[in-house]
Amino acid sequence: MLCMKRYFLLFMLLFPSLFILNSYAVNIALPEMGDSAGALVSPREEYDIGQAFFWRLQQNTELVEDPEVNSYIQALGYKLAANSDEPTLDFTFFMVPDPSVNAFAAPGGFIGVNAGLLLTAEREDELASVMAHEIAHITQRHILRSFERHKRMTVPRTAAMIAAALLGIADPRAGQAAILAVQGGDIQSMLDYSRAHESEADNLGMQTLVASGFDPHAMPSFFEKLQQASRYYGGDSVPEFLRTHPVTLSRIADARGRAVNYQKQQQPSDELQFYLIREKLRVMMADKSSDLLKHYEHVLAEDSNKNKDPLHYGYALALLKAGQHTKARATLQPLLDKDRDRLAYQLALADIELAVGRVSTALSIYEENQRLYPDDKALSMKQVHALLRTGRPQDAANLLQTQLDLGENSRDVFKLMAQAKGDMGQKSQAHTWLAEYYYRSGLLKAAADQLRLAAEAAGHDEYQRAKIASRLREVEKALAQMEQ
């Protein structure tokens, strides 16, 4: 479980004198403090700070890599972003396998959602309300605006204040190194100033929420639920969201007042997918299969009127995780009979086939669904894994290239492409794609090393060597900036 201390450390890693990685100093210099957020840093510099944070995050924890979960959270995020006041901004949405209830925004459009937030939300509107709130923090550049009143801070001092303002200081023991350079009064003034930002993010977030077809009342309702639940917590158990986004009765009342002025704009929505992804994430996060099975057996036995299809789906996945393949198939089959075109059910069926060694059957399922859901990322990525498993790297590479052509640039695509090219005997290409995987993971030195190996493997292919040399210069330039 990620704790507050780790989050502080991740932000510390953005700046010099606070962290050494792979024997070189990480150094991202902030420009002089200006009179406005626009003068503080350029959009490019803002993105570079956020990217450095994202790089360090990936190096310090394994993010959720499941293609179905990621496709869902990204689709929801992009839907909201498209209806924000900055629809052309480049956003990156990702999920952290942390059971605490929280979400956070870093400069440059990087928005993280803790698994605990999705698992706690009872409706998609509630999850969307928090994500819309975080999007507003990004579009209004709240992190940067917070420093307009602190124009003469040193870079390490600025780093500590960014960590404090973004992640909160609920636990005085957490991130001790990050706050050594900051006086208590400065931290308090930052937190006080952030309350105005929270109100602005609530207001703009609600506009985004409504424009995206979600219930405006979901935001105050979810905040109120978290606040009421916090009464039963003690000490360090208070939900992270309440620490980093202080929720007061007046703030909830203001949000409720705004909500009554909006009418939900009905838009097509597949809310069942939210419940299915929630159950899949629940299975992924569970440590003990026995406890997981008992959970589903209990909730399925309860007499209630709610739709139990997501619970049956989760139970089938739990059975699969426990190695009970026959029972998993039997649990999934009624769902398939009811809704055969539901991609989540089809992918679960393919997972069962793979688990019992029927790879060709799983591939048939993938190929059939490509006709219904052409180029779907989750479907394509699972199909790629199966193709590589059966010695069909060219077909796998074709699917991956389609994803790249569609703008997909997540690091798992590059890693799989490197494997496919390697299986095809194209060593130079394999090293090149692996370099891109390392680059997007923030391992710039390793990326440069792979490009040098790619150049060696290219032999007398001058065109390939020229492309590699150009990319190597770009990576080395980025590495030099990090080492300044």
Predicted local distance difference test score (pLDDT) of residue 18: 29
202 catalytic? Reply is: yes
pTM as predicted: 0.82
134 catalytic? Reply is: yes
Q: Does the annotation place 198 within a ligand binding site?
A: yes
Predicted local distance difference test score (pLDDT) of residue 104: 85
Predicted local distance difference test score (pLDDT) of residue 57: 78
Out of 48, 68, 98, 134, pick the active-site residue: 134
Predicted local distance difference test score (pLDDT) of residue 483: 67
Mean pLDDT per segment of 10 residues, for the chain of length 484 residues?
40 34 32 45 76 79 92 96 93 92 86 93 95 92 64 43 42 38 48 68 90 91 76 52 60 73 69 96 96 96 87 98 98 98 98 98 98 96 98 98 94 97 98 97 95 97 96 93 68
Q: Does the annotation place 476 within a ligand binding site?
A: no
Predicted local distance difference test score (pLDDT) of residue 257: 73
Out of 124, 186, 202, 215, pick the active-site residue: 202
Residue 227 in tokens: 């606040």
Q: Does the annotation place 133 within a ligand binding site?
A: yes
Predicted local distance difference test score (pLDDT) of residue 60: 74
